[in-house]
Chain A
Amino acid sequence: MSTPNPNIAKTSMRGLTNFISDLRNAPSKENEEKRVTKEMAHIRKEFKENKNIDGYARRKYVCKLIYMYMLGYELDFGHMEAVTLLSSTKFSEKQIGYISIAILLHEQHEMLPLIINSFKEDLLARNDYFQSLALAAICNIGGKEVAEFLSPLIQKLLIANTSSPMVKKRAALAILRMNRKNIGFVTPDQWVERLVSVLDDSDFGVLNSLMSLLIELASENPIGWESAIPKVIQLLKKIAINKEFPKEYTYYHIACPWLQVKLLKFLRYFPPPEDSQGGQVLNEILNAIFSQSESAKAGTVNHKNSLNAVLFEAINLIIHLDSDPTLLKQTSSLLGRFITVKETNIRYLGLATMSHFANLSNETSIMIKKYQDTVLLSLKDADISIRRRALDLLYGMCDKNTCKHIVAELLSYLQTADYAIREELVIKIANLAEKFASNYSWYVDVILQLITTAGDFVSDDIWFRVVKIVTNHEDIQAYAASTVFTALQSRNCHETLIKVGGYILGEFGHLIADSPQSSPLIQFNILHSKYGTCSPSTKALLLSTYAKFVNLFPELTQPTQEVFKQHSNYIDAEIQQRACEYLNLTSLNEDLMQTVLDVIPAFSEKDNSNNNNINSSNGNSQDPRVSSGSGYHTPPPQQQYQQPVQQQQSNNNLQDLLDPFGLGLGGSPQPAQQQVAQYQQPQQQIVMQPQQIQQQQSPQEVQSPFGSGTHNFSPSSPNGPSSPINSGGAIDPLQLKILISFKRLCLASEGVLYEDNMLQVGLKSEYQGSQGRLMLYYGNSSAFPLTNFNVTFNSVSGVQLQPQSIAPVIQPKAQIQQPVTFSCTSEFTETPTVVINFLTPGKPITIHLKLPIIMSKFFDPLKLNSGDFFAKWKTISGKPLEIQEVFKPTKPVDINQFTKVLSDGLNITVLKGVDPNPNNIVAACLYPFGSNGQPIQCYIRIESNPQANMCRVTIRTQSAVLTNTLKSLLIAHLQ
């Protein structure tokens, strides 16, 4: 195409080229390794011994090292030489220096603080190129420290008239990077005026970078950045309507597509312009963009892509504004065209955008109804990405009228769909069938068909749901029973079908028992013919079904008791327990049997199960419910309290991941099941023989959801956190949860502090110097208002809390916030607490919570080298200033994990290279607020023996109080 660039030859290094050739020509991996080892040794020697090494050689060697590093070889030296190149006055050397640190270092690299000074010098140099290099490096690897030291300088470079465009655009991105690493670093009150003024810059490169920055800031929080809107609209007008822009920014006949996309995207973070003029101009702009859409049919692929990129961004903005009916109509027909074009990319995006469009309002979803057949056709596209989008869109398009058609299409697609999409498909079909079912017999048919076609992908949630719906709707019970009965006749039933069948026949089999084709004995025989091949959990379920049969059909007593007897010594504890219980239950006392084995009452409708699942577009079933074998009823006593723990626990984890403060996922999982379990508990215990309880408790303990973790909190563990749990073995799940939340928040700055099915308390914290600030979020997860809401804070000596007052009522599903400020005046050993009181319609509630305000939150870093550390270490000894403690971690010793807990969670500086033994940690921190007004230095050593899995921690500080607190903290969090 064009001639080779003469600069390449001029600026290349022959030694480097030869070296790369050598490695490329190496006949085998071993030869390559040999060559690398040789070169490494040579370079190491040069760096070490050649005092007069010149810039060129250093540059060349560093390049070779990077090349080896890129091939995957470890580098244990050379970083220093790369840093030396930074301070060279020659551009070529500096450039290689900067490129190499961007490759070799990362934002947390220990060498980064060393080079902040080099950055500073180059930023101050009156040389655009040096400034640009430093700014690029900050964009690549800048972290918190860079932001602290250099932000005023970078801000100045962005705003100064003397800065060249090259410097300005990089400065804008450097600020973006610093804000990303330090969210909230750029605040509107200090920056908005300056940043908006840069929007007047005439250089489009600068505007482009600046818009990236503004989008990032608006996406974080749009409030405060509104003043940029008029200028952004003006700029768009200039480009899209007036066509005023530098020629070199035309890309395949499109006016600066990148900038247009960014400008449009920025506007999406704000409500529609309030002034009618701004709104009108915006409409003109969008119309102008749409008017070009015809030209996307011809031209090069690049022309089409960039034009369509702008069009899609405009469509997204129109969807966001949702105001102009004409534009919406045009959008609909444009999208209709997009989903039929030849280019796969456009079809993909067309389907994705149409999904958003369909979800916008009733009108928009009606507008696109006419494309339903095209979308159905896309389900058969060769590309799975397209099929996924089509499925999503169909899901959104479905309504009462189209549902039967769409579900039928999806079911037929399910037969041939590939495995990657099946799970998602199954969940979506199940949801649609439930959501739009006009009669539930259709729903039951659909689900049974799902199980037959793709049983492996039908998660437990789905069949739980069928069971619930059938239980709650009397009119379909007989139909459901006869349908599953028919389905069970098939030779190869899926196990899920057996579960559903077992449950439904157990409950409602009597409704069809009069027919000679489905007499009780036939029902029992058909279920029991599948029994042998089932998994233990299904077997357990079937045993319960048999027990139910006995209650309804006395003629089955003999064959079922036969089965129970066979299993009374069964190897699986769960099955054995059920068999023993049911055997006794069905033979001892008829009244009791009738009560226990009565029909399950209707489930509470509050728990609308699998609709949540659909939010994840991958469709992974993440429902917190755990499908233990006793999923259905009469779980043995142990599980009666363990199960809720397990559920709440996993539910909690889920919430942390998805929605730490919001209430969107609230609602207690499966209240119905718990109710049933509680309701049946008393009778169960009467039946249990004491001896049996004993016999079964031990295997049950193994199944405990907390497994080996349980003794973490048992009172016998030395120096563990003070445990509110009684020693009877009955763990109060709520207390345990509170404890876990508290412990986690001791290490983190935000998260959930407390949660039950009525109230969620979230917390965010910030610390600066001796000041701290908490934001507490109280969310009402219940269906009724919480009144007389009152929170009392208990300060402790050393920390004085100052809460702001809050409203006394929280409406259902609403959330209120309460800021609390406090300052630390001396060491403190106790933890501040809060008491939350409120009234529910039923009764007053009081909740006691500890606040995660602990001394480590105030720690400052303390960096020491080996000599200093040991010099100071030796000055303190003996109790009570020194404490040593041995503990056994519950998990295998993991030094990296320890380091993380110390440095990330407890703000303690881990000193590297002080102790040569890799199993030991030496660390230090500074507590700035000693009681005598002096800061206190703390020194910590942790020695571990991985073989024995034992650790010893030694702490020395100038304050006995601090030493002791620190010890408890470390053991609590490391153990």
Chain B
Amino acid sequence: MIHFLLLLSRQGKTRLTKWYSPFTNKEKSRFTREIGNMVLNRPPKLCNFLEWKEYKIIFKRYASLYFIVCCDRTDNELIVLEMIHHFVEILDRYFGNVCELDLIFNFHKAYYILDELLLAGELQETSKKTVLRLIAQQDAQQENPSEHKVDL
């Protein structure tokens, strides 16, 4: 299972965090710092996996952003790595050439796209088409809320 996901900028600024396991706020900021140091200082060309505590860190850099996932040691590393790519492709398609600023100004959207992809620390949907369709449908909901009154 995935325990958390971090998006850090090259300067170490946090752009998005999502915690799937319960950690205290103190732990969260400590982990972010610790992992940020490990990942940001890692020379390129080395492998994308790190052993950390009882977990595994899997990360990949896209332009100025590091996408970092912390998962169980028993998880399949490559498929988690591709899940990161899958997420990036969906963001890219949704925002149209996504950049760091898109994620800053539309952080709430980033969260609901992420929910569409990952829930309870597990990958929910692997079809890019389906994810984008569902998000578009939800965006469409926003314009005609009156048609979808709660029907009890």
Q: Interface of A with B (CB < 8 Å)? A: 1-5, 7-8, 10-12, 17, 20, 24, 63, 66-67, 70, 72, 89-92, 95-96, 99, 102-103, 106-108, 121-122, 124-127, 129-130, 136, 139-140, 166, 169-170, 173-174, 176-177, 180, 204-205, 208-209, 212, 216, 246, 248-249, 251, 256-259, 261, 265, 302, 305-306, 308-309, 312-313, 344-345, 347-349, 382-383, 385-386, 388, 617-618
Contacts and interface: CB of A to CB of B under 8 A. Distances in A.
Contact of A261 (B79, B125, B141): B79
Interface string B90-123: 0011111100000011111101100100011011
A139 B108 CA distance: 17
Contacts of A306: 78-79, 82
Contacts of B138: 91, 95, 129
6 contacts: A91-B145, A140-B20, A173-B120, A258-B79, A261-B79, A385-B49
B120 A176 contact: yes
A72 B82 CA distance: 30
Given A89-B149, A302-B85, A170 B119 contact: yes
B47 A345 contact: yes
B141 A129 contact: yes
A893 B86 CA distance: 50
B34 interface: no
Contact of A139 (B79, B119, B134): B119
A2 to B, nearest CB: 5
Interface string B46-57: 111111000000
Given A257-B82, A258-B82, 17 more contacts: A2-B97, A4-B97, A10-B139, A24-B104, A91-B138, A99-B115, A102-B115, A107-B22, A126-B151, A140-B119, A166-B134, A174-B119, A204-B126, A246-B127, A344-B45, A344-B47, A618-B51
Given A208-B124, A251-B82, A345 B145 contact: no
A103 B108 CA distance: 10
Contacts of A176: 120, 122
Interface residues of B, number: 64
B106 A8 contact: yes
A248 B46 contact: no
B46 A125 contact: no
A127 B76 CA distance: 36
A265 B79 CA distance: 12
The residue among A11, A90, A180 with the most chain B CB atoms within 10 A of its own CB is A11
The SS class assigned to the B binding surface is helix
A309 B145 contact: no
Contacts of B150: 89, 121-122, 125, 127, 130
Interface in B1-59: 1, 14, 17, 20, 22, 29, 43, 45-51
Nearest to B149: A89
Nearest to B148: A127
Nearest to A135: B119
A621 to B, nearest CB: 18
Given A127-B150, A173-B124, A306-B82, A92 B95 contact: no
A309 B84 CA distance: 14
B138 to A, nearest CB: 6
Contacts of B29: 72
A92 B94 contact: no
Contacts of A126: 151
A257 B123 CA distance: 12
A899 to B, nearest CB: 14
Contact of A95 (B79, B112, B125, B130): B112
B115 to A, nearest CB: 5
Contacts of B104: 20, 24
Q: Closest 7 CB pairs between A and B? A: A309-B78, A344-B47, A91-B141, A212-B122, A309-B79, A90-B145, A139-B119
A12 B95 CA distance: 13
Contacts of B79: 257-258, 261, 305-306, 309, 313
Given A208-B126, A348-B49, A385-B46, A129 B142 contact: no
A177 B120 CA distance: 6
Given A11-B142, A312-B76, A345 B119 contact: no
A344 to B, nearest CB: 4
A218 B24 CA distance: 29
Contacts of B93: 1-2
A198 to B, nearest CB: 15
Contacts of A204: 126-127
Contacts of A344: 45-48
A207 B46 CA distance: 35
A70 B107 contact: yes
A121 to B, nearest CB: 7
B17 to A, nearest CB: 8
Nearest to A175: B120
Given A7-B139, A99-B112, A388 B122 contact: no
Contacts of B85: 302, 305
Nearest to B93: A2
Contacts of B14: 70
A309 B127 contact: no
A253 B90 CA distance: 18
B150 to A, nearest CB: 5
Contact of A382 (B46, B76, B142): B46
B124 A251 contact: no
Contacts of A302: 82, 85
The residue among B46, B49, B125, B130 with the most chain A CB atoms within 10 A of its own CB is B125
A91 B142 contact: yes
Contacts of A12: 105-106
Contacts of B111: 99, 102-103
Nearest to B144: A91
Given A1-B92, A127-B151, A345-B81, A63 B108 contact: yes
B7 to A, nearest CB: 11
Nearest to A313: B76
Contacts of B127: 204-205, 246, 248-249
